[in-house]
Amino acid sequence: MTDRSQDVFVLIIAGGRGTRFWPWSRRGLPKQCLSVNGETTLIRATVDRVLPIVPAARVLVVTSAEMAEPLRAELGMLPPENLLVEPEGRNTAPAVGWGVLEVGHRSHGRNAVMIVLPSDHLIREEDELRDLLLDCAEAARATNALVTIGLVPTRAETGYGYLEVGGALGSFGDRPFLRVSRFVEKPDAELAASYVAGGVHLWNAGMFVFTVEAMRDAFRQHLPRTWTALEQLRAHPERLVELYNKMDRISIDYGVMERHSHVLTVRAELGWSDVGSWEALAEILPPVSGGVGRAALVVSHEAQDNVVFAPGQTVALLGVEGLVVVQVGEVLMVCPRDRAQDVRALTVALEQLGERRLL
């Protein structure tokens, strides 16, 4: 640990089920608890990534009740009280707000810095990320801004949100920090291509850094109903279930970040992937006959550009191109690669059929 990490806390958001990774990701084994690279689980990798700069006592994980048990099994390195279990999922704004309360309490009134990270991303350049996060903490302290990490886009991706950047505010840790002019929703292919070519748009990776006081003020301004409930929760923690239900069901991006007038970003190249879909996983799967994948054996004839995921199974491909083929347990899922972002629609259909055992 260094002086730069003094009063720095990390909040890891681990509430989503990763429905675009169905049928591998299920209620009893959410995406965060999967080992997509064959080495360690995503949630464990996320925690291990920050422990060199923040002690375990200052790493909090917020999750839903249905995912609490599998996460506890993965997070034995953290104090049990550092797993914050939501009574119900209400998107990420209430989760971040609850984290602000906890950090404010645990830092004994000091204006601590909070780093908010997703729990299910892959990052190759981990040393660079740690140094970048500490630079962001310095910027957050000095400017009272909400800071978000902007990833230099490597392709015209339509599945991500973008940041439109403005002029530089100043440098921290020898990195220029830029004003965020606006947040841009997921663009179509043509617009995404223009963003990549123009050089003034970055991917919004959902990694944020701010002081407790800055985020308190932002909640008061943009989500007053949620902040009122949080203030009541601070005084009456025993009323968690009742008060959580009163908070806005909205993401921190929509509810706070996009509405705030003082947001900074810093350009980053981290070897990052959100592995948010089967198409994204294809980037890290090894080559197999007829495409990429993981299986006991893949045999193909006149097949190409397919994604196969069937650990322990044999898959045969004949005359097919651009498919995702997934076999997990009793479920076989097949879809075109260009529809991989839509897999969650199948989970909705199963819910409507009453087949919760498959979710």
pLDDT in tens, 28-52: 788 898 888 777 899 999 999 999 9
Section 68-91 average pLDDT: 93
CA distances from 348 to 240, 342, 343 (A): 29, 11, 9
Distance CA 164, CA 168 (A): 13
**Any idea what the CATH number is for the domain that residue 109 is in?**
3.90.550.10
Contact 48, 40 (CB under 8 A): yes
Same domain, 185 and 316: no
Amino acid occupying residue 254 = Y
Where do we find the tokens 């003034």?
200
Going by the DSSP 8-state scheme, the letter that residue 356 receives in this structure is G
Instruction: Indicate if 303 and 210 belong to the same structural domain.
Output: no
CA angle, corner 344, sides to 342 and 347, nearest 5? 140
| Structural domains in the chain (count) | 2
- Compute the average pLDDT of residues 260-285: 91
- The encoded tokens of residue 94 equal 């209430």
Indicate whether 210 and 292 sit together in one domain: no
CA atoms within 13 A on the CB side of 330: 4
pLDDT digits (tens, 9 = 90+) for 273-330: 888 789 888 988 999 999 999 999 999 999 999 999 999 999 999 999 999 999 999 9
- How many C-beta neighbours within 10 Å does residue 346 have? 18
Cα separation, 114 vs 59, in Å, equals 10
pLDDT of residue 222: 98
What DSSP character marks residue 58?
Answer: G
pTM, to two decimals: 0.91
pLDDT per position as a tens digit, 7-18: 999 999 998 777
352 pLDDT above the threshold of 90: yes
E strands along 87-238, which residues? Answer: 113-118, 122-123, 146-151, 162-172, 175-184, 201-211
What does the pLDDT look like over 184-222, one tens digit per residue? 888 888 999 999 999 899 999 899 999 999 999 999 999
pLDDT score for 159: 80
Bridge partner list, 123: 272
- Quote the percentage of the chain above a pLDDT of 70: 99
Mean pLDDT on 95-109: 94
Q: Report how far residue 324's alpha carbon sits from residue 160's, in angstroms, rounded to the nearest whole number.
A: 21
Q: Are residues 120 and 248 in the same domain?
A: yes
Whether 245 and 188 map to the same domain: the answer is: yes
Percentage above 90 pLDDT, the chain: 77
The reported pLDDT for the residue numbered 253 is 93
Mean pLDDT of the chain: 93
Same-domain status, 249 and 333: no
Shared-domain flag, residues 286 and 261: no
Of 24-28, 98-102, 337-341, 348-352, the poorest mean pLDDT is in 24-28
Residue 182: inside a domain = yes
Greatest distance between any 2 Cα atoms in the chain: 66
- pLDDT for 1 equals 63
Determine the pLDDT at residue 2: 64
Enclosing domain of residue 286: 278-342
Give the separation between CA 348 and CA 359, rounded to whole angstroms: 9
The one-letter code for the residue type at 131 is: D
Q: How far apart are CA 180 and CA 159, in angstroms?
A: 20
Assess contact for 117 and 50: CB atoms under 8 A.
Answer: yes
Helix (H, G, I), strand (E, B), or coil: what is residue 253?
helix
pLDDT at 230 over 80: yes
**Residue 3: is its pLDDT beyond 80?**
no
Alpha-carbon distance of 46 to 119, in angstroms, equals 6
Query: What residues does 60 pair with on adjacent strands?
Result: 11
Residues 236, 289, single domain; the answer is no
- Give the pLDDT confidence score for residue 336 in this predicted structure: 96
Q: What angle do CA 290, 299, 347 make, to 5 degrees?
A: 70
Kindly state whether residues 68 and 115 are assigned to the same domain. yes
